[in-house]
Amino acid sequence: MSDIGTSCPGKLYTKDEVISLMKLKPFFTLVWDYSKSNWQVGAEVQTEVVQGTTYLRTKSDTTTLDNLANFIRVDYFG
């Protein structure tokens, strides 16, 4: 599987580190497709400041998606 150079493998990042990295290049959510056993690129992750606190979020639009349906089930991998 290729990450097409858009992910940062092998390290955990804090929210503040991710926000700094987002200034250099866009970040996207990933959606796991259980029927095809592969990833699909999802929505672009953006930041929003609410009462002085910066949050990570995807753009609010009319798309309806059950985010819980695409959580990774660890037992799926054995």
Three-state secondary structure readout of 31-44: EEECCCCEEEEEEE
Helix (H, G, I), strand (E, B) or coil at 69: helix
pTM of the predicted structure, to 2 decimals: 0.57
Which alpha helices (H) appear in the chain, and where do they start and end? 15-22
Ranges in the chain, pLDDT < 50 = 1, 8
The answer to whether 37 and 78 have CB atoms below 8 angstroms apart is: no
The answer to whether 74 and 63 have CB atoms below 8 angstroms apart is: no
| pLDDT digit string, tens, across residues 68-78 | 555 666 565 55
